Each structure stands twice: as C-alpha cells, then as structure tokens.
Structure 1
Amino acid sequence: MADFPTQAQIVIVGGGIIGASTAYHLAKLGLKDVVLLERHKLTSGSTFHAAGLVGQLRSNANITQLLGESVKLYQTLEQETGLATGWKMNGGLRLACTQERWTEVKRQATTARSFGLEMHLLSPQEAQDLWPLMDVSDVIGAAFLPTDGQANPSDITGSLAKGARMHGARILEDTEVTGFRIANGRVTTVETDRGPIACEIVVNCAGQWARKVGRMAGVNVPLVSVEHQYMITDRIEGVTSTLPTLRDPDRLTYYKEEVGGLVMGGYEPNPIAWGLDGFPKGFNFQLLQSNFDHFEQLMELALGRVPALETAGVKELINGPESFTPDGNFILGQAPELTGFFVGAGFNAFGIASGGGAGKALAEWIAGGRAPYDLAPVDILRFGRNHQDVAWVRERTLEAYGKHYTIAWPHEEHASGRPLRRSPLYDRLRAQGAVFGEKLGWERPNWFAQPGEEARDRYTFGRPNWTDAVAREHAAVREAVGLFDQTSFAKFRMVGRDAEAALSWLSAADLAYAPGTITVAPMLNARGGVECDLTAVRVAPDDYYLVAGTGAATKDFDWLRRNTPQGLDAHLIDVSSAYGVLSLMGPNARRTLERVCSDDVSNDGFPFARAKRINVAGAPTLALRVTYVGELGFELHLPVEFTATVYDALMAAGADLGIANAGYRAIETLRLEKGYWASGSDVGPDHTPFEAGFGWAVALGKTADFLGRDALRAAQGQRLKKRLAGFTVDDPSIVLLGRETIYRNGERVGWLSSGGFGHTLGKPIGYGYVRQPEGGLDEAFVLSGAYELDVATVRVPATVHLAPLYDPEMRRMLA
C-alpha cells in the first residue's frame, strides 16, 4: 500500500479512452496531482471492443470543432509518446441512395463548409473509385471527408495513458471505487477497495458504469447499455490499407479496413438493451454472446452493398455492450447535484472519434472553471426531471439508437416515453387538433390541425405539411388574437433580503427597479458571453420571479445557484410546476382580456414591460405585459389549478374577436419577423450582448458590479469580431433551417444559427453571425456588400438586415 495515494487534487474514475484522454490533458495543462482509477485494466470496459471509426461532422460547430481536436491529437500522439495508435487519416465516405438522403448529404456539405471542414460531393463512380468493392447501382451520390479516419482504440488509450504519466499523472489499475464521502455539497473523498483518497474534484469517466458511479454520489447520469455488434472478416481481395471508412446510412451499416479484411457493423432499428438488472460482477474484457439472428438484418443490407461479403470468411461477430444516451449526444460537464463532480461518459459508440477532443474540453473545463466554449448539446445540464427515471431513459435511448442512421429530418420529434409532463390543457388542446412536440418531457402544442387535416407531422426537407396551419395561426396573432399554452416555461423565484444584491451581481441588466418592473436580464460569464437569457419580474422588494425557456430549466437554475455570492440572504426556488402560463397575443388581446378581468389593463393602467397582479376569470394572476411575437401581448402566470378555467374563459371571450389556438411553430415564425433572438441557437456563452445586438439590455453604468462587466468594458467601443444579423431570401420556395453558409462578396463569413419562414413578409428568414476575426467589423461593414446563402450547396441571393423585419411603428405592440 506504500504506493497508494491517500490524497489527490483530481481523481478520475474509469480507464477507457475518455478517462485516459482527460488525465493526459489535465497533466499537460500542468495539473500534476491527478490520479486515474481503473477497477480492472485500462480499456477493459467497452473501449477494447470499439470499432474505431473517427468521423468529425456534427450539426453543431463547436462539437465539430471538438471532434477535430481528436484528429489533431491522433496525428501527433504516437510521435510524442512513442506508442503506436493505429491512426490513419484515410478519409471517410458517406453514401446517399434516396433523393431525401441526398438532400440531407448536400445540407451536411453546406454545414461542413460553414464550420470550415473539408467535404466533397462525389458521383457514384467517383465514390466507387475510392471504394472499389462496393456496388453503386442504387447510389445517387456520396460525400467524402478527407480528414476523417480510423484508429486502434486500445493502442490510442495506451498511448494517452503513457502521455498522462509522462506529464505527471498517476494511473492505478485494479482499484475499484466503492463510494464517496460528501460534505457541504461536494465530494471530499473517493472510497476504493484499496483505501480512501481525499480529493477536491472527481471526474466520472466510467463508461457504461457511469450511471452506477454517479448514483453513489447522488448524481444522475442518464445513460443505459445497448448491445452493439460488428463483424470482422478474413482478408478480402481488393481491400487495401488506404481504403476510406464507409458509412451507408440507407443500409444502416458502416465499414472500415482491418488487416486486409473488413469490419462491418451498424445500427438496427430494434436494438437490444443490456444490463437491465445491473452488470455481472467482474465483467472485464468480456463480450456478449454473438447474436447472428439479430445481426442478419444488417448482413442482408450489407450484402447488397459489398457482394464480396457473401464469400468472405468471418473471423468473429463482436457483440459488446456500449453506453448510449436519450438524445444520442455524449455527456460532459459538472453535475448539477454536486460541486466539483464532473462527468465524461455516454459516447454512443463514437467514443474513439470524440475521445481526444472530449478529454481536452473536459480538462480545460475543470482547470478553467467553465467550459472552454459553448458545449450545450453535450452538457449534462441539458437533462431534467424526466431523465431521473431509468426506465424512461432506456425507452428514449433505444429510440435514439434506432434512429442513428435514419435521416435527421428538420423539426423531427421523438415518439417514445410520451406523454410524460402535461399541462392541464393537454386533453383540451388535443381534442382541438393540437399536434404536440416534446421538450424536457413536456408536451407542447406545435401546431393545430383543422377538421379534415391530418394531425401529425410529415417530415421533409421541403415545404412541411403543417405550413398552412402555422400560417393561419401566424395571421390570427398578427390580425386578431392568438392563445398559446406556455406552461412548460422554467420558472424560478429569488427571495430574501438580499435578492436584489444577488441578481444585480448575476445580471448585466439593472434590476434595482420598483416592484412591478419587467427586465430582460442577460446573465454573463467572465468572458462576457450570455449564459442565461431570463425575464426578471420584481414582484416585491425581496422577491423576484424569473422566467426561462423550457429546455434551460436545469442549466439556468444551476448557473443562478452556483454564481449567487455566498453569505447573502437570497434563496433560489424552482416553481416551474406550480404555475400555468397562457400567452394572449395580438391586436385584440386587450379586448379579450377585458371581458374576463375587471382590473385596469389599458395601456395607461398597464403599460409595456410592467407586471401586475390581476384576477382573470376568478384566478389570481401575475400578468406580464411582454411579447415575443411583435404584437400586443399579455403573459398570464397563474396557479396551475386555474389554468383550464382561465383558458375556457379566454376562448369564449375572444370567440367573436377571432381568437385562435396557436403553437410553438407559429411563435417561431412570428419572432423571426420581429427580430427576436432565440436563446441557445442565436445567443449563447460564446456571444456577448454587443455581438448579439442587444447591448441595450446591459447597464454598464449601474452602481452594482456584475459578472462579465470587465469583459464588456474592455470590449466597449472596440470593433466586433462578429455580429448577429438577419437575412431574407426573395424566393419563397427556399427552405432555411440554420447552418446555411453566409457569403459576403463571395467570401465565407459565417452560417445561420436559425431559420424559418415569415408568413406576413412571405419570405424565408434566417439569423446568423457575420464574422470578421481579422480587423473586426461594424454595422456599416455588415450592411454593405452582396450576400448569398449556401442552401444544400446552391447559393441563393440574400438581403441582410440589422433592424426588425416586422415593425409597423410599434403600433400594435404598444397599443
């Protein structure tokens, strides 16, 4: 036991590629007091049986960047450590065999160019020239990414482990974590079967055991194990060491070269969960029994692509369980339940592709106290209450696994585990044709079908089947009045004697106003980036009501709680489930409200950006005079038990005023026209308020200091490196979804962060950042020049805007 450490600054649990990469990068950053614990031997969990394909393209620029960091590392790691990694940059092919898939691939090519990733579109013959063994008779086209590749998972992990040791980290095998000691909201000691280790930070990289390890500390890690099979063949004539990796999503399969033969695996639509009752003790370097019957469906699809497989010898059918998550993205970041407890797990069978970059990002996160860049799609804070139940997580995860190679349709919704969280209006709205979407377990009406219309989404890259329905709802809000059920909003209260002081530090806005004031309250990180986009209502001197987006519930609560200065009498409470929210929007909103409310809701009695306690149809209501659609609006927050009563009263009161149910897709088309940003897509931690165009919400001169103020003061008056702008296209048939490349005078300057259609304008609308890192830019630069948008590899002329597209002299909003 003499060599066993009794304390360390950082303890990493798990010796797969993610744990080894995190240890390597932490040590390279100069954090020498790092100990990695592996219950058996390095790679003995799932890393040793990983297929080893390394692809980079994802739908998010920062995740693509993270995967690119893996490639950069794998290119140099062997030279640094002297241990082979098996890395080959032999490129990656992706096939398209239907017109819909070809559209998806062309949109992916646009995304790749937006993010600076090289990707070429090929004809079937050009693809076959790179991969001669395949039959291309059904192929329409292909994409080739020359910087993709493949690696040997065990070798890369061994090389990372050696690099970690070279830089001062310690690695202890045959050391099982048995529990944690926790004090004052953080882990103080890791208990092992060899003794305790006192520490400051724990990093849970335990792979498919990460949920079990997290549970020991009271941390929820939403992942489950799924069987994943691939076949290894004997040598096949014509298979060379330079053969690119191949993904054939229409046939659900992937391929890579291995010792002159092929590895072929895939993602079947009927996956098999594993470990439902826990994992067998001593499950190390073990595989599951090969399931040839289940693999047959993939084999039949593969034979049509690679006829040589019919006569090839089969060395082995590998069946290894791997960890998968409910949304198909991996999990990084600090757990909301504890301080100093980080997670790097749930890699959905692309842990080798992610390993280098994920370990680097996680190490920088730990060392710097914040994510190095916006990693929201993989942040553990994206999960919520619905992810606490493992049965629900498993059901959703199996659906996500089955969709791994299906077309990623725009606006696609999951079907599993629904309905779960429902507003009191769910049944009423469903009976009236509501087609629901789901976010963080909440059922939310996306649009409403009229009698005779099919009340379901039909997915397409073209004009969706719900376009006319959303246009009706859009018109109702513009011309009459629409009623939205937004009960799913995240809602918090900050209460206590020092509530104002706490929020004054947390927010860049001035919140020292009298009760009844509503403030757009951006909350920034130390770099000046927007971490939270909240609406703050001061309801009393010691009480603030805070409203956030549905999907931000965990993230925003965590940010507020962690960054509230210690010692203040300020207490954060999540009241999301206590209140229903009905948003009454449109020029007839006031007339409708007046019919069920005796309080003064006139413009003089209830001006814009004010909150007022009123009674609506007998319900005590906190009414907010705000809008996200560019029209006169009232957000009605009321105890949840009154929601149905007030809804019925409003619908009856507005019947002759043109009132209509409206859903979230209409909110999107309306906000696009009005130029309101979408938090999480248009605005996030990598964007300052100045860059996002709402510097007006920042009170740099307020008396109270606030988080991010120094960064904003340093940036004030300087030329921006990027600026959020709006874009319209005159051709109404063009479909903007986001990630389309922005060209200015023929030069690539950015990509759209969101896109859609404005039914009042009759035009496609998108928003995105115009970037000019060298020399910076100003509004004159943005507004000059000729713009084009690359839509599925076709450039279309676009007009740039910095002012709202729909703004009839604020007539309706301020009426």
Structure 2
Amino acid sequence: MALPPENARVVIVGGGVIGCSVAYHLTKLGWTDVVLLERKQLTSGTTWHAAGLIAQLRATENMTRLAKYSQELYGQLEAETGVATGFRRNGSITVALSDERREEILRQASMARAFGVEVEEISPAELKTRYPHVNAEDVKAAVYLDKDGQGDPANIALAMARGARQRGAQVLERTKVTGFVRDARRITGVHWEAEGESGTITCDHVVNCAGMWGHEVGRQMGVNVPLHACEHFYIVTDTVPGLSQLPVLRVPEECAYYKEDAGKILLGAFEPVAKPWGMAGIPESFEFDQLPEDFDHFEPILEQAVNRMPLLAEAGIHTFFNGPESFTPDDAYHLGLAPEMDNVWVAAGFNSIGIQSAGGAGMALASWMDSGEKPFDLGDVDIARMQPFQGNRHYLFERSKETLGLLYADHFPYRQKATARGIRRSPLHETLLREGAVMGEIAGWERANWFADSGQTPAYEYSWKRQNWFGNAAREHKAIRENVGLYDMSSFGKIRVEGPDAEAFLNHVAASNLSVPVGKIVYSQLLNSRGGIEADVTITRLSETAYLVVTPAATRLADETWLRRHVGDHRVVVTDITAAEAVICVMGPKSRALLQRVSPNDFSNAANPFGTAQEIEIGMGLARAHRVTYVGELGWEIYVSADMAAHVFEVLHEAGREMDARLCGLHMMDSCRIEKGFRHFGHDISSEDHVLEAGLGFAVKKNNVSFIGRDAVERKREQGLQTRMVQFLLQDPEPLLYHAEPILRDGDIVGFLTSGSYGHHLGGAVGLGYVPSAGETAADVLASRYEIEIAGSRVAATASLKPLYDPKSERVKV
C-alpha cells in the first residue's frame, strides 16, 4: 500500500463524505498537495449507513444555497468520475397533522419561494395521488418539493474521492492519525501509522473531517469541536410487490420519514428523546459497524407508522438498523477556521444531514481556505459560534438527547432548548427568577426573555400565533416607551483592548474613527475586504491606552477571534472580560429621573451626552454608566463589577418601585429595536451584507485613516447601491412576522425579511429586509406597492427607509 508523503499543503483527517468533498473541492481549485487520511476504509464511520435524503430547503438562504449546490454536483459526478451516485430527483412531501404544523409547513413553503426553491402546496387528495400508500385521513396540509431527491451515500463519497485522486490528491485508507505537532497557534505536522509503519507529514493546513471522532481529534489539535454521537434507527422492509418509485415522505409529528429504495420501504426516526452513544469513547475496531437493536425504543414510532402506512403491517422487516451519527448543541454543523488555531479547519457534526450538505460544505470550506475569506455568510455554521464550555462531555451528553429529536420537532418561534441549561448565569439570575423571569438561553447564558404576572405560570406555551407571553411583552414594551424599565444584559460580550497601540489598532480594524476622547462611545462595524460586516459593536474609550469592545453574547468568541487575527505588529493585549461585569439597562423617558434618585452624579445632557460614559457612584457601590440604547429611548447601560451587581440592582429596583418601573425581558428589547429599525447581527447584517447597503454608512469614518474594507466602501460609494435595507409595517395588525417571509414588490418576490417582531407601539408586525435597488433613488424604492407573504397569504405593508419610530432619534437625546 502507498504510504503518506513527507510534506503536504493540507492534510484532511477523515474519509467520510465530508472529507472526500473537501478534498474534491480543494483539488478543483488547483490544490495538488492534498492528502486525505482515513483510519479504516472510506465511508466506514457514518456515511455508509446514511439514508441518503437530499433536500434543497434549509432554514436560511445560504444553507439552502449549499444544499442546492450539493444536488447539482451529485447529478454530474457520475459523468465526471465514472462512479454512479444513485442520485435521482424523486421529490419529497412533508405533511401536517395539526393546525400548528400546518402553519409551519406553509410558512416554510413561503420561505422556499423567497429562496428560489420550487414548492407546491397540495391537498390531502393530491397527497394520495402522489403517495397512494399513505393514510391521509387526518392530514391537514402537505407541501411537495419536486426537485428534492435521494442518492447512494457511499458512492457519492467514493465519486468525490475519485475526482480528488484524478486531480492529484492522495487518498489513503488504513492510515490512522495518531497525533499532531503543534507550534503556538499552528499545526505543523501530522503523525500517522499504517501497516506497522509510522511517520509525520509536515503541512500548511489541517482539516478535521473526523465525524463522530471530531470532538476527540479536535482535542488532540487543541481546538473545540462540540459534538456527540447518538443512536439513529431505521428499518427496511422486505420487497413490496408492485412498489414503484415514490417521493420521500416526512411525517414530522410522528417523528418519521419514509424512503422507497429498490422496491423496499425504509422507515427512519428522529425520536424526541435520543440515545447518546460512545460516552466512553468509540471502539478502536469500529468499521462499518452497527449498534445493538433496541426495538422497545423504536416501537412507538413503528406503531404510528403502521397506521400511517398500512402496507407496513403486511411487509416483513428485512433489516432493523441502528447506527451512530454525530449531533451538535444547536443542530447546525461545524465549518470553518477553528478560533484557537490559525491553520486548523473543521467540517464535522452534520446532524444527520451530511449527504445533502456535503457538496456545498466542501465547496464553501475549500473556497474559504483558498482565498482566506468566507465566500458568503456562513455564520449559521461557523465553528466560531461555539463557546468553549460547549466542549464539556457531560454537557454534550445531556444536550444530544434533545438535538436529534429537534430535527422533526415543531420549530416554533422563540422555542428554547430544554436540556443542558443553567450553565452560565448572570449575578442577577436568582433575583430575576424570584420576580417571575422566564429564561431563554443563548451561548449558554440564561437570560430573562419575559416576566410572568402574579398567578401566571412562568413558562412558554409555544404557538405560531400569539404566545402566552405576548401581553407581558406588550406591557414591558409600553413601560420602555412611556416610563422606565430595567433589564439585565450581563451576557453582552466584553472585550478589553489595551496597550500603547490600542487606538491605532482599533482604527485599523473598525470602520469608525476611534481617535476620540476618553469616555466617548463609538458605534462601529468590523468589516472584511468586501465591505461586509464581520461584527457590529460599540467601542468605549476607557483611557488613553484602553478600550472596551462590547459585542452580542452569541458572537463574542467570533469577534474576539477576528480582533486577535488582525493584531499584527500592534502592541495590544486582547482580553475577554465578559464575566467580570454585569450590565443593568435603565431605559425609558424617565430613566434619568430614576438614576438621579440613586446616584449623586450628573446625568444631564451637558455632563453625560448621548454616546458618552462616566464613572458613577450608585447606591453604596461604583459603576460606569454608558449612555447608549438599543431600544430607541433615553437610557443608560450600567456596567458594574460582578461583586456589586446584586446591590446595584436592588437599589435601582427599590427606587424604581415608586416610579412604577417595570422589569423587562429580551423579547421587549427585540420588539423595541425593530420599531426603531436597529439592525440585528446574524439576521439583518452579516459578513455578506455591505455596510452601506445595510444603511450603516453613518457609522463609517470619513477621515483619511485606512481601515479594513475601506476600498470596498469607496467603490460602493462610487458605483451606487445595488440593494437597500427597508423597514416594513404590516397594515393588518393581526399577522405575526418572524424571519424569511417573502417581500413582494408590485406583486413579484424580490427578497425576504431578515428579521421580524411585533411593534406594540406601532400597532402591527414589523420586519426588516433588503430590496434590490440598482440605479434607483430612495423615492423610486418607496414608490412601489409592497406585500409580505405569510404562510401563503399576502399582507399589505408600509415601507420606509427611515425608522418608523422616532426617525430623527430625538427621544434618545433629550
């Protein structure tokens, strides 16, 4: 057998469909020194037993783009490589058995249209025509996607491996990676052993495509790859006489999918409580293995399936299969450059959608590796979204019980994970719970999303319509708009940038001017070379040599990593201090009056104008008051050391009682910010959205200081905007907006909402979204008739390029 070379440009660890795709796409870009090492045989981990379902529609536009690319690739691989992939477009059908699920799949159908995916809503009668074997008596609705398909998972991987070999890659089986040579933030060598031989490959890059071994391989490399294997069950029937080609059928409320293959039916399950596997490690001998049968675990799924598909009662079971697949904490896969290292890449944790994702994921990662920049927004799957604690094995064990089942669970808006909770808590956590806080979770942080009234059960009751907290959030919203509210934002990411070159460094990485006086707060974006937004932050100058960069909780690690990777020769230290300070927001037209009750400091416009911070005494403690707002009202963010946070909150809360101040949650913050048109990073703005087209040109510095992305900003100013961010208010007060609803301009779909919430003050649902506008003036854009499509229905909307609430920002500066 061939042995590995001494040197390579890149070593790919793992020979499943993902590793083969990365190798294939790197060689398509001209990389020749590509080595893929597989411990056993190609596809012998998870790929070989995958169901091979290949759908187009995913939860976001870019994930849909990647899935559509996979389909197109698999359709042409056989002609290129001579390996049959078994790919065929036989379509797919998803059915709803309840009104809530009907709302969900119809909203998904609307989203599909916005993303350019062909979709058809079909009646129960039409369902029977397309899938005559199904019991449709209780079916409320169904959607059909004609271009969906299925394929042979192993052969898809083998075809890409052959394509990579044909372009010079070395794909080596029976070659185990045993360790790595690490030099600071780089892996410089990969140790291997094969057939009694061993050696080391020196390399420029390493890619972790180790699948369910990815977590352990990541630890060996010094990077965090949070994933856990779970048992995944399916049965295959004996041959069913006369069974013809059928679409894939999904019945998510029964946790089941059905696939016709070679005259047999495969019934698979995504049960609500999964069985984690491999807690003590994966056996060394594991290769094309299956796990012990557990018919008791699968039986509830099968009982419903026999009713749904009566032919199963007559067909014998040919195979009962149980095989492991890896799942991540949020059901999104891991892709990209690992935050801890500068040349370690990850493509792992594909949550049972590896076959449909592999083509696009390999293409995107190869492009990123080749150019050094993401080809488009990959925030949904970027490995930098994972927090360090999420690599904890106990956490992964507990969370994986839930994530498998969430694939087919109701994807209700605002749905919170139920497992592995309570890990990161604000200093105010227990106090807020006693006051009726109902917690949500992001990046491990427990955060008050709304406050239950006395006698109200403090828990979510999920729905696609108005949920049980809708009135609570409306009252909190009203308090912020008319009086004063308090809410906890201790989860803000807080990054201290300090050193003699701090000012020069931040002027290099941020688009705004950071040559400002001590105490000044600057709203800014960190841009990439295309003018896309990598981070949306506020930066406060604390001293001549120190700044505080405040980021969203979910992107703190990604933003810190971006800063670190661009330090260069600047003499600065970048430190995460998130847990060191709590943040208590005091917002509303009477916020100044409340602060004056508890602090001797001056909060007037003269002493503390908008966009400035000051050190204050508050109660018997010390804090720093930042006069900024994300809700569009007069207000302050009070930064206080964790040890004094409870005291400061008690002082504010007690003084606030006399003013009828209200404790508020983050659902309020979202509804207030969208009325004001404030962008939300990860939804409204991303690395793919140009800062000028996002309507944030006011934050870009106008002086002659160079900064990352400046050339792209100047080019856009010269060439003109191709698209504009528009705010929409539904004219009907009843429907609700969440995200991805199609935008119709004069009857044609031109885009989709990037985010949505209910504007309690404006009296209707509000959304933000981009509208193509090449060669048009603002007046041209607004001269059209706009509608938003919601679950197949079109609702008239008022469009605005300025905030519909307080367009001149007079309220924040009073």
Which of 210, 219, 227 aligns to 2:231? It is 227
Change in Cα spacing, 1:688 to 1:615, as seen in structure 2 (3 Å) is same
**What does residue range 255-334 of structure 1 map to in structure 2 within 5 Å?**
255-334=258-337
Change in Cα spacing, 1:379 to 1:2, as seen in structure 2 (3 Å) is closer
* Inter-partner Cα distance in structure 2 for 1:540 and 1:238: 79
1:123 alignment partner in structure 2: 123
Which of 249, 252, 255 aligns to 1:249? It is 252
* Paired AA for residue 231 in structure 2: E
User: Which deviations, in whole Å up to 9, do the C-alpha atoms of 1:756-795 show, x marking residues without a partner?
Assistant: 11111111111111125xx454422321110011011000
Which of 661, 675, 699 aligns to 1:673? It is 675
Q: CA RMSD in A?
A: 1.2
2:158 alignment partner in structure 1: 158
The offset of 1:272, in angstroms, is 1.1
Which of 585, 593, 605 aligns to 1:583? It is 585
The offset of 1:394, in angstroms, is 1.9
Q: Establish whether residue 85 from structure 1 lines up as the match of residue 81 from structure 2.
A: no
User: Which deviations, in whole Å up to 9, do the C-alpha atoms of 1:716-753 show, x marking residues without a partner?
Assistant: 13232211110001211111111110010111110001
1:414 alignment partner in structure 2: 417
**What does residue range 355-366 of structure 1 map to in structure 2 within 5 Å?**
355-366=358-369
1:462 alignment partner in structure 2: 465
1:170 alignment partner in structure 2: 170
Change in Cα spacing, 1:810 to 1:73, as seen in structure 2 (3 Å) is closer
1:780 alignment partner in structure 2: 779
* Inter-partner Cα distance in structure 2 for 1:414 and 1:2: 48
Does the 8 Å contact 1:256/1:264 carry over to 2? yes
Report which stretch shifted further, 34-43 or 413-422: 413-422
**What does residue range 442-453 of structure 1 map to in structure 2 within 5 Å?**
442-453=445-456
Does the 8 Å contact 1:132/1:238 carry over to 2? no
The offset of 1:476, in angstroms, is 0.9
2:797 alignment partner in structure 1: 798
User: Which deviations, in whole Å up to 9, do the C-alpha atoms of 1:319-359 show, x marking residues without a partner?
Assistant: 11111111111111111111110110111111111111111
Q: Where does structure 1 lack aligned partners over 5 or more consecutive residues?
A: none
The offset of 1:666, in angstroms, is 0.6
* Inter-partner Cα distance in structure 1 for 2:72 and 2:775: 28
The offset of 1:4, in angstroms, is 2.8
1:598 alignment partner in structure 2: 600
User: Which deviations, in whole Å up to 9, do the C-alpha atoms of 1:479-516 show, x marking residues without a partner?
Assistant: 11101111110001000000111111100111111111
2:405 alignment partner in structure 1: 402
* Paired AA for residue 39 in structure 2: R
2:742 alignment partner in structure 1: 741
* Inter-partner Cα distance in structure 2 for 1:358 and 1:37: 19
* Inter-partner Cα distance in structure 2 for 1:646 and 1:4: 62
User: What stretches of structure 1 move > 6 A for 4+ residues in a row?
Assistant: none
Which of 195, 203, 210 aligns to 2:199? It is 195
2:700 alignment partner in structure 1: 698
Does the 8 Å contact 2:272/2:409 carry over to 1? no
Does the 8 Å contact 1:107/1:791 carry over to 2? yes
* Paired AA for residue 48 in structure 1: W
Report which stretch shifted further, 745-754 or 802-811: 802-811
* Inter-partner Cα distance in structure 2 for 1:84 and 1:402: 32
* Paired AA for residue 570 in structure 1: V
Question: Aligned with 1:583: secondary structure?
Answer: strand
2:100 alignment partner in structure 1: 100
Identity %: 44
The offset of 1:811, in angstroms, is 4.0
Which of 678, 681, 687 aligns to 2:689? It is 687
* Inter-partner Cα distance in structure 1 for 2:806 and 2:277: 55
* Inter-partner Cα distance in structure 1 for 2:10 and 2:4: 15
1:710 alignment partner in structure 2: 711
Q: Establish whether residue 15 from structure 1 lines up as the match of residue 15 from structure 2.
A: yes
Does the 8 Å contact 1:269/1:402 carry over to 2? yes
Change in Cα spacing, 1:460 to 1:512, as seen in structure 2 (3 Å) is same
Does the 8 Å contact 2:473/2:667 carry over to 1? yes
Question: Aligned with 1:354: secondary structure?
Answer: helix
Does the 8 Å contact 1:328/1:397 carry over to 2? no
Report which stretch shifted further, 23-32 or 656-665: 656-665
Does the 8 Å contact 1:720/1:778 carry over to 2? no
Question: Aligned with 1:9: secondary structure?
Answer: strand
1:213 alignment partner in structure 2: 217
1:611 alignment partner in structure 2: 613
Q: Establish whether residue 639 from structure 1 lines up as the match of residue 641 from structure 2.
A: yes
User: Which deviations, in whole Å up to 9, do the C-alpha atoms of 1:415-452 show, x marking residues without a partner?
Assistant: 11121111111111111111111111111001111112
* Paired AA for residue 584 in structure 1: V
* Inter-partner Cα distance in structure 2 for 1:314 and 1:397: 28
User: Which deviations, in whole Å up to 9, do the C-alpha atoms of 1:132-182 show, x marking residues without a partner?
Assistant: 111111111211111110000111111111101111211011110001111
Q: Where does structure 2 lack aligned partners over 5 or more consecutive residues?
A: none
Question: Aligned with 2:111: secondary structure?
Answer: helix
The offset of 1:238, in angstroms, is 3.6
Does the 8 Å contact 2:732/2:796 carry over to 1? no
Does the 8 Å contact 2:279/2:397 carry over to 1? no
1:725 alignment partner in structure 2: 726
1:573 alignment partner in structure 2: 575
* Inter-partner Cα distance in structure 2 for 1:781 and 1:90: 43
* Inter-partner Cα distance in structure 1 for 2:388 and 2:340: 13
The offset of 1:810, in angstroms, is 3.8
The offset of 1:809, in angstroms, is 5.4
Which of 432, 437, 440 aligns to 2:440? It is 437
Does the 8 Å contact 1:92/1:245 carry over to 2? yes
2:497 alignment partner in structure 1: 494
* Inter-partner Cα distance in structure 2 for 1:13 and 1:809: 55
* Inter-partner Cα distance in structure 1 for 2:273 and 2:803: 47
* Inter-partner Cα distance in structure 1 for 2:813 and 2:357: 50
The offset of 1:230, in angstroms, is 0.8
* Paired AA for residue 545 in structure 2: D
Q: Establish whether residue 547 from structure 1 lines up as the match of residue 537 from structure 2.
A: no
Question: Aligned with 1:371: secondary structure?
Answer: coil
The offset of 1:808, in angstroms, is 7.4
* Paired AA for residue 224 in structure 2: N
Does the 8 Å contact 1:385/1:440 carry over to 2? no
User: Which deviations, in whole Å up to 9, do the C-alpha atoms of 1:69-91 show, x marking residues without a partner?
Assistant: 10010111111111100101111
Question: Aligned with 2:425: secondary structure?
Answer: coil
* Inter-partner Cα distance in structure 1 for 2:808 and 2:537: 26
* Inter-partner Cα distance in structure 2 for 1:613 and 1:760: 33
* Inter-partner Cα distance in structure 1 for 2:444 and 2:434: 20
